[in-house]
């Protein structure tokens, strides 16, 4: 007996849930020959607002988890991604990749998650310092997460681009809202399902689909967003972000012509981007000529 | 005045009440209307601190906030009142002086109400003598649930007498008296015993204020008004923390009791975190930017 294929509904991911956009709007995603692959949610500014609320609510507990625990959770994402690799390869083929390119990209995405999992409890040592001061203080600086980060993911290489954008942000204890690639969003929605089954608390990662030109001003102007990360080279969009980010002096990071497939697209300095350095002056006994009193 | 038999109060159609409440939440209030609604809600708030760890400093800080809600937004109203324990009435009264913000005090062994009548009356008198404009009393829920309605009625009447010129709000703690039928019964007892306001909850028990419970109380007020022409106020308290839900309550108020009740003389929100959310929404309407709690005072 023949059976009807059950086709997946591609939805957005907010606060650990998969709602449709509140606006009810969608856009048809077509392949190169014009065949409709899926209807994709065209997220509105209210979806973004809801995602920020979810990300803010999740920030407290995520940022206070131990580095080790965040590491375990990132590693778990890699495990889950490994288990779903066939689905990702199939979706990338649908979107026009060759099998070889798709396989390479999934492999790289898994490896990159493992790479950042390793960094979760190590970047702190790398970027912390004990500072020499001229008074009786023990003076030290440590990195702390910035808070809620809004990310406009790369348009090309939609899976590795997304992973390269998200992993360093959450490894450092931030929570994020990501706008997926407009033309290649299938992997992003499936990646949300991977995250949802990987012990990542709801709200730590929120993934929206839709139009960057529509949402970019809201990404940059929302007062409860602490940083904006942009992947791309559209000068008009970059200007919009820089202008709108001033209201609460957001940190803005523009990755112009970034190539996610490159080895240089990963590294602890990507974690440092979304950290703020806290310096503490701790009073101690007078430091003697030979040894400190602490 | 003739008093009804409180054993035979009308019963409440729970399904009907819930259907009606869901309708109130489907209205679309936007732009100027929303701004006016939010300002009205702000002006109806009883800013509340009722914790064991309260100090004079905390109360003074809250009183400052009551008058200076968000000074970068010119023309904002103040809140209606601050609500504190009797021991802090004097502090609050001094801090608020000529601001027009009233001082409400809980009394009668708040929040449990488990004490003797003499102590409850003394508690009330202490609050009033220290300058409380309003007294929020709790009913004896145990006696109410036993069916001892005369006890509850007499107690409210005795506290009302002790209040003198202060307005009396009667708290039912609807989370403890459970059913909507009981809420209706308690409403009638309190109204006939002389309550100026009826109030849902102490905020110490969950569930606190809900829309169905508030609607039942509003309908009791309406029916009493039809019979006697006397207005009674309403105060839902606890659990209302978003501007959106405050607007839902205002819609319910408007469509149940009408325009006459749309002022802080007849309607209050008992809340502590609601004010900030309303302020954030007002700033959102003014600037077009979604706001962050980082830029609003915490207490």
CATH of the domain at B239: 3.20.20.70
Quote the CA–CA distance of A271 and A168 in Å, as a whole number.
5
> What integer pLDDT is reported at residue A136 of this predicted model?
86
> What integer pLDDT is reported at residue A285 of this predicted model?
75
Which letter does DSSP use for residue B6 in this model? G
- Say whether pLDDT at A253 is over 60: yes
Quote the CA–CA distance of B198 and B168 in Å, as a whole number.
8
- Say whether pLDDT at A27 is over 90: yes
> Between chains, do B292 and A224 touch, taking CB under 8 Å as contact?
yes
Domain assignment present for residue B181? The answer is yes
Q: Which residues of chain B have pLDDT under 70?
A: 299
Predicted TM-score (pTM) of the model is 0.90
Domain assignment present for residue B277? The answer is yes
Residue of chain A nearest B292, judged by CA positions: A224
* A 234-273 near B (Cβ less than 8 A): 247-248
- Say whether pLDDT at A289 is over 60: no
- Cβ pair A188, A18 in contact under 8 A: no
Q: Which residues of A237-256 are buried (b: 16+ CB within 10 A; e: fewer)?
A: bbebbeebbeebebbbbbbe
Confirm or reject contact between A221 and chain B (CB < 8 A): yes
Mean pLDDT score, A237-261: 93
- Starting at the edge strand found earlier in the chain, the sheet holding A175-179 runs A205-208, A175-179, A148-152, A227-231, A251-255
- Cβ pair A50, A142 in contact under 8 A: no
- Least Cα distance to B155 among B106, B108, B197 occurs for B108
Q: Give the 3-state secondary structure of residue B106.
A: strand
Dihedral pair phi/psi, residue B209, rounded to 5° = -65, 135
ipTM above 0.85, yes or no: no
Q: Hey, CA dihedral for B168, B49, B240, B29, is it positive or negative? A: positive
Picking from B289, B293, B294, the nearest residue to A247 by CB comes out as B289
Quote the CA–CA distance of A87 and A189 in Å, as a whole number.
12
Quote the CA–CA distance of B16 and A216 in Å, as a whole number.
45
B295 contacts in chain A (CB < 8 Å):
223, 248
- Say whether pLDDT at A288 is over 80: no
Mean pLDDT score, A188-195: 96
Domain assignment present for residue B1? The answer is no
- Say whether pLDDT at A8 is over 90: no
Tokens encoding A7 = 């086709």
Q: Give the 3-state secondary structure of residue A198.
A: coil
Q: Number of folded domains in chain B?
A: 1
> Between chains, do B290 and A247 touch, taking CB under 8 Å as contact?
no
Interface test with B, best of A46, A57, A59, A224 (most B CBs within 10 A): A224
> What integer pLDDT is reported at residue B297 of this predicted model?
87
**Range list of H helices, A64-197:** 67-83, 85-94, 99-119, 123-127, 158-171, 186-196
- Say whether pLDDT at A290 is over 70: no
- Starting at the edge strand found earlier in the chain, the sheet holding A137-145 runs A129-131, A137-145, A275-283
Rounding to the nearest 10 degrees, give the CA dihedral for residues A236, A240, A241, A242: 100
> What integer pLDDT is reported at residue A114 of this predicted model?
98
Provide the β-strand partners of residue A205.
Answer: A176
**How far away is chain B from the Cα of A17, in angstroms, using its nearest Cα?**
21
> Between chains, do B289 and A224 touch, taking CB under 8 Å as contact?
no
CATH number of A38-283: 3.40.605.10
> Between chains, do B290 and A49 touch, taking CB under 8 Å as contact?
yes
Per the rule left: phi > 0, alpha: psi between -120 and 50, beta: everything else, B31 is left
> What integer pLDDT is reported at residue A293 of this predicted model?
52
Choice among B136, B169, B185, B196 that is catalytic: B136
Look up B120 and say whether it is catalytic. no
What average pLDDT does chain A have?
Answer: 94
> What integer pLDDT is reported at residue A233 of this predicted model?
93
Tokens encoding B2 = 């003739």
Picking from B289, B293, B295, the nearest residue to A221 by CB comes out as B289
Look up B133 and say whether it is catalytic. no
- Say whether pLDDT at A258 is over 90: no
Quote the CA–CA distance of B44 and A223 in Å, as a whole number.
27
A222 contacts in chain B (CB < 8 Å):
289-290, 292
What pLDDT band is residue A1 in, cutting at 50, 70 and 90? confident
The owner of tokens 């005369």 is B150
Boundaries of domain holding B215: 6-295
Mean pLDDT score, A136-141: 92
* Other CB atoms within 10 A of residue B119 CB: 11
Quote the CA–CA distance of A261 and B175 in Å, as a whole number.
58
> Between chains, do A248 and B290 touch, taking CB under 8 Å as contact?
no
B286 contacts in chain A (CB < 8 Å):
none
Look up B31 and say whether it is catalytic. no
> What integer pLDDT is reported at residue B1 of this predicted model?
74
- Geometric angle at alpha carbon B224, from B218 and B227, rounded to 5°: 145
Give per-residue pLDDT as tens, A160-177: 999 999 999 999 999 999
> Between chains, do B295 and A248 touch, taking CB under 8 Å as contact?
yes
Per the rule left: phi > 0, alpha: psi between -120 and 50, beta: everything else, B17 is alpha
- Cβ pair A14, A51 in contact under 8 A: yes
């Amino acid at each position: 007996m023949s059976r009807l294929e059950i086709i997946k509904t591609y939805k957005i991911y907010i606060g650990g849930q998969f709602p449709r956009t509140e606006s009810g709007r969608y856009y048809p995603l077509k392949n190169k020959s014009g065949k409709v692959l899926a209807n994709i949610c065209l997220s509105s500014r209210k979806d973004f607002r809801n995602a920020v609320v979810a990300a803010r609510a999740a920030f407290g507990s995520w940022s206070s988890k131990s580095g080790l625990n965040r590491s375990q959770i990132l590693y778990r994402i890699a495990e889950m991604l490994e288990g779903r690799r066939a689905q990702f390869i199939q979706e990338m083929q649908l979107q026009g990749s060759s099998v070889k390119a798709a396989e390479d990209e999934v492999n790289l995405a898994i490896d990159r998650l493992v790479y950042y999992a390793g960094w979760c409890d190590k970047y702190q040592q790398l970027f912390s310092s004990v500072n020499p001061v001229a008074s009786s203080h023990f003076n030290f600086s440590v990195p702390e997460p910035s808070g809620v980060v809004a990310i406009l993911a790369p348009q090309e290489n939609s899976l590795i681009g997304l992973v390269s954008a998200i992993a360093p942000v959450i490894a450092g204890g931030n929570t994020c809202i990501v706008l997926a690639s407009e033309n290649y969003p299938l992997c992003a929605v499936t990646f949300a399902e991977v995250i949802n089954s990987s012990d990542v608390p709801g709200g730590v990662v929120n993934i929206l689909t839709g139009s960057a030109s529509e949402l970019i001003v809201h990404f940059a102007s929302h007062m409860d967003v602490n940083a904006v990360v942009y992947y791309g080279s559209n000068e008009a969009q970059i200007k919009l972000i820089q202008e709108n980010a001033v209201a609460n002096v957001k940190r803005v990071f523009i990755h112009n012509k970034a190539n996610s497939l490159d080895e240089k697209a990963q590294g602890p300095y990507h974690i440092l981007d979304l950290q703020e350095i806290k310096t503490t002056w701790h009073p101690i006994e007078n430091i003697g000529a030979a040894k400190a009193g602490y | 005045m003739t008093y009804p038999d409180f054993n035979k109060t009308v019963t409440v159609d729970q399904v009907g009440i819930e259907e009606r409440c869901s309708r109130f939440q489907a209205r679309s209030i936007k732009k100027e209307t929303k701004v006016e609604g939010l300002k009205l809600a702000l002006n109806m708030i009883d800013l509340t601190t009722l914790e064991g760890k309260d100090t004079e400093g905390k109360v003074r800080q809250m009183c400052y906030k009551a008058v200076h809600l968000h000074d970068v937004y010119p023309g904002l109203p103040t809140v209606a009142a601050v609500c504190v324990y009797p021991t802090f009435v004097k502090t609050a009264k001094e801090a608020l002086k000529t601001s027009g913000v009233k001082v409400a005090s809980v009394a009668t062994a708040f929040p449990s109400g488990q004490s003797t009548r003499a102590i409850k009356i003394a508690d009330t008198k202490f609050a009033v003598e220290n300058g409380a404009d309003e007294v929020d009393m709790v009913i004896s829920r145990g006696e109410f649930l036993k069916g001892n309605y005369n006890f509850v009625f007499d107690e409210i009447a005795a506290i009302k007498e002790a209040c003198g010129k202060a307005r009396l709000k009667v708290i039912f703690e609807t989370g403890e008296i459970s059913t909507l039928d009981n809420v209706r019964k308690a409403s009638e007892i309190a109204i006939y015993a002389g309550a100026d306001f009826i109030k849902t909850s102490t905020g110490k028990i969950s569930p606190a204020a809900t829309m169905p419970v508030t609607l039942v109380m509003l309908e009791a007020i309406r029916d009493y008004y039809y019979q006697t022409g006397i207005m009674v106020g309403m105060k839902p308290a606890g659990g209302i923390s978003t501007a959106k839900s405050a607007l839902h309550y205002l819609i319910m108020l408007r469509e149940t009791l009408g325009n006459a009740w749309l002022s802080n003389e007849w309607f209050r929100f008992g809340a502590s975190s609601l004010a900030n959310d309303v302020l954030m929404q007002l700033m959102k309407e003014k600037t077009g930017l979604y706001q962050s709690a980082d830029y609003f005072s915490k207490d």
